[in-house]
A and B are shown apart, each in its own frame.
Chain A
């Protein structure tokens, strides 16, 4: 994190949050005083250069706050007298948003795996096995020969036996683990096990539905989320809803000779995992692209064009800011 701060009538400060920055360079494109320099994003993304994606020249920065207003990833924060301008009515507001509906979510965790920013955390509690399958099991001590075969074969590891020299058995069945598959009953050479599966006889009615529910909690970190839409893409129950920062499309130059595997700069800098090299060519999955433009800046052939039609930033009151920001869209 780096900070530019100056005290006048107001205390104005600009904070750069490295961990949120994706290296898209929107801030450096729009800075009215060209105080923000975008560093070579590809070597940084590959870990070959140890530096931040951007440098802010403190002497040139006018502390106007435009970069912080326009950063779609909250990597720049601007405060006046310690109040973030995001929460001040005079300043622009992003309307992009991500949410996951807790009531619809089935806690499958697909979004957690797909999220390229580790912004999702799924915690779930499964019901007890004994609440999902019911039955009865008992072992007749008089018949048991303490062979231990039931323990060895039990797929649920529900049976434990203890054997001593006198071959006296101490055999236990854990009813929380037993699923009443009846394998032990079938294999017991002494016919000492009595077991029955109640679910086979009575079906679902034997279960209490409230005990068989999966409960859980899903947390989507607004801080780390970049609204790429992966969660929405992979969710099997449509619990995720995403509005992206920009609307538009990403296209390739007509005469673009993509170098594919040789280069793969676009793939490496994309914060959304939206680009893959397939058949030695760059392929973009538009559904999970945020049109940030990092790939276009990293492509050494300048073969990628970002066409933004709309920026989901509202309440831009300043005419000069409107003029500058309109440069980001067509």
Chain B
């Protein structure tokens, strides 16, 4: 299982109402910041779905 980040809905971290909330919520290090973008590391993901549930832009979904 893996997540998909919808780039159109997500945008840059600096524009995120939660200032990269998904990164802050993920304690497995599956979401990281690189140049103001969110990068997903599937090998670290534990499928907890916290990012999906809490994304202020509803930009994250399951594959």
Contacts and interface: CB of A to CB of B under 8 A. Distances in A.
A301 B46 CA distance: 12
Contacts of B18: 43, 48-49
Contacts of A63: none
A40 interface: yes
A160 B25 CA distance: 59
B28 A262 contact: yes
B21 A300 contact: no
Contact of B48 (A43, A46, A262): A262
A294 interface: no
B54 interface: yes
8 contacts: A40-B53, A42-B50, A43-B18, A43-B24, A46-B25, A48-B24, A259-B47, A300-B52
A275 to B, nearest CB: 16
Interface of B: 18, 21, 24-25, 27-28, 46-50, 52-54, 56
A79 interface: no
A328 interface: no
B55 to A, nearest CB: 9
Nearest to B45: A262
B7 to A, nearest CB: 22
Contacts of B28: 262
The 5 tightest CB contacts between A and B, nearest first, are A300-B49, A259-B48, A300-B53, A263-B48, A262-B46
Contacts of B53: 40, 42, 300
A252 B49 CA distance: 17
A133 interface: no
Nearest to A40: B54
A139 B54 CA distance: 74
Interface range for A: 10 to 19
Contacts of B49: 259, 263, 300-301
A42 B54 contact: yes
B44 to A, nearest CB: 10
A261 B54 CA distance: 18
Contact of A259 (B21, B25, B46, B52): B46
Interface in A40-62: 40, 42-43, 46, 48-49
A14 interface: no
A300 B33 CA distance: 23
Contact of A43 (B21, B46, B47): B21
Interface in A279-330: 300-301
Contacts of B54: 40, 42-43, 300
Given A259-B48, A263-B50, 15 more contacts: A42-B25, A43-B18, A43-B25, A46-B24, A49-B18, A259-B46, A259-B49, A262-B27, A263-B48, A265-B50, A300-B49, A300-B52, A300-B54, A301-B48, A301-B49
B37 to A, nearest CB: 19
B49 to A, nearest CB: 4
A300 B50 contact: yes
Nearest to A261: B27
A300 B49 CA distance: 6
Interface in A244-289: 259, 261-263, 265
A300 B50 CA distance: 6
A263 B48 CA distance: 6
Nearest to A48: B24
B21 A48 contact: yes
